[in-house]
Amino acid sequence: MTITRFAPSPTGRLHVGNLRPALLNWLYARKQGGQFVLRIDDTDAERSKEEHVDAIKRDLDWLGLGWDRFERQSERLDRYDAAADELRASGRLYPCYETATELDIRRKVQRNAGRPPVYDRAALKLTDEERAKLAEDRRPHWRFKLDQTRVTWTDGIRGETNVDCGSVSDPVLIREDGGYLYTLCSVCDDIDFGISDVIRGEDHVTNTATQIQIFDALGGAATAFAHHSLLVDEEGASLSKRLGSLTLESIRDQGIEPLALLSYMARLGSSDPIEPRASHDELIAGFDLNSYGRAPARFSPGDLTALNTRILHTKPYADVAALLRDAGVPDAIAEPFWHLIRENIEELDAIPAWVAILKGDCESVVDAEDADYVATARARLNAAKPWTAETWKAVTADLKTETGRKGRALFMPLRKALTGRTDGPDMAALLPLLDR
Ligand code: GLU
């Protein structure tokens, strides 16, 4: 069975960069009729926060990306202990005593000499005595001893991919404080949870090579891997520094619809056009991992807003009924009200302003030169109550005859007086809904 997973570290809020692997893994699992696991990579006790775990769940719930299984690495430390013992026993995990500063200096020296800053395996050359001496006042971190060979796999997006592990540092799997790095934990989890496919960012390509070796060393079959490109901004520059402000929470707060964000993100970096999708099922049906390429995916907030607007303009009343009720729109007129305003708003946040117009709580705008005209119109409109679908046409026809005004001069002062704005829906349809 296809089983994928999304494995965020709860060290901050999810942003659009995280959404890419979340969505691709979810879509892939759903398309294959498989399962989707949410795994929290929280072995870094200092940086992991419970509030971020809650926020991750809230964000995925908001987007409708449900999971079939929930796991967290902090509850599986026994399993990682066992795996570490196994690797130690087979000589693949070795203790190192260098401090961060020492390693830093060593890397600088290597760079200055024109050599790649790869860990030189000095710890493997220590004698037992030297090791015992270092252990007197230092605690070791532990590295995985890579086979210095070329690791090859068929990547679901990049095609044939290989990494020469001869030019990669032996990865640290256990920190000096005994904490596990995700590199080892992830392999244990992928084996134990039967993960069949891992889709993640191309910043993990080297990790994949080392993890394929760890799968092998632990006697597990490696999953299939696909590495998607990373997001860049409209100018093609890395988004990494700006991702902090592109959190899913802030996008939700801007009034972006879940399906707008999903429709947009599902097609970024793919050869298929970006189109609004009306449901998750439609998204799944249109998903094809083969359509993604290696080129960076350009994230444009403007394109997202434009897509959101397109989705909002056709949003069915049922989807917003509760929202309108909460905003104080009477049930009796809520549906026609929604159909009128949806094409005039860019985000749901704009609803309260229209509710204020509905209730007459808006600032009436009357220019000095229109004051007399508006006063006359007010009298005529008041006399024409109750307002119906015909009222606007009839009253403005009378006003035209009475005042000689026509076109914009006839209509705009009335729109401004009644709504406080120069734009908005058809006044003939709006008038009967106004509560004046
Ligand atoms: N916690 C890792 C990360 O967020 C997971 C990477 C992976 O999908 O394997 O980078």
Same domain, 351 and 369: no
Nearest to 59 by CA among 322, 299, 253: 253
User: Among 343, 358, 373, which residue terminates a domain?
Assistant: 358
Res 318: pLDDT: 94
Same domain, 320 and 370: no
- pLDDT of 19 > 70? The answer is yes
Asked, for residue 370, whether it belongs to a domain, the answer is yes
DSSP of 126-170: --HHHHHHHHHH---EEEE----SEEEEEETTTEEEEEEGGGSPP
200 lines ligand 1 (CB under 6 A): yes
% pLDDT > 90, the chain = 93
pLDDT tens digit string along 118-145? Answer: 999 999 999 999 999 999 999 999 999 9
Residue to mutate (ligand 1; options 204, 214, 230; most atoms within 8 A of CB):
204
Among protein residues, the one with the nearest Cα to ligand 1's atom 6 is 7
Beta-carbon contacts of residue 239 (< 8 Å; ≥ 6 apart):
16, 17, 230, 231, 232, 233, 246, 299
Asked, for residue 135, whether it belongs to a domain, the answer is no
Among protein residues, the one with the nearest Cα to ligand 1's atom 4 is 8
Res 346: pLDDT: 85
- pLDDT of 436 > 70? The answer is no
For residue 41, the ligand 1 atom closest to its alpha carbon is 1
Asked, for residue 415, whether it belongs to a domain, the answer is yes
Same domain, 373 and 402: yes
Same domain, 379 and 335: no
190 lines ligand 1 (CB under 6 A): no
> Apex CA 152: angle with CA 148 and CA 156, to 5°?
145
Same domain, 330 and 377: no
Whether 48 and 87 have beta carbons less than 8 Å apart is answered as no
- pLDDT of 244 > 90? The answer is no
Q: What predicted TM-score, i.e. pTM, was given to this entire model?
A: 0.86
Print the domain residue range for 411: 363-436
3-class secondary structure, 175? coil
Same domain, 436 and 367: yes
> Apex CA 384: angle with CA 331 and CA 374, to 5°?
100
Asked, for residue 334, whether it belongs to a domain, the answer is yes
3-class secondary structure, 329? coil
Same domain, 339 and 405: no
User: Among 332, 358, 384, which residue terminates a domain?
Assistant: 358
pLDDT tens digit string along 27-81? Answer: 999 999 999 999 999 999 999 999 999 999 999 999 999 999 999 999 999 999 9
Beta-carbon contacts of residue 336 (< 8 Å; ≥ 6 apart):
429, 433
Q: How many CB atoms lie within 10 A of CB 415?
A: 18
Burial class (CB in 10 A: 0-12, 13-18, 19+), 110: middle
Same domain, 367 and 388: yes
Mean pLDDT of all residues in 227-232:
96
Same domain, 346 and 400: no
Residue to mutate (ligand 1; options 5, 11, 20, 182; most atoms within 8 A of CB):
182
Res 49: pLDDT: 97
pLDDT tens digit string along 270-294? Answer: 988 899 998 999 999 999 999 999 9
Q: How many domains does the chain have?
A: 2
Task: For residue 386, give the CATH number of its domain.
Answer: 1.10.10
pLDDT tens digit string along 368-383? Answer: 999 999 999 999 999 9
User: Among 358, 382, 414, which residue terminates a domain?
Assistant: 358
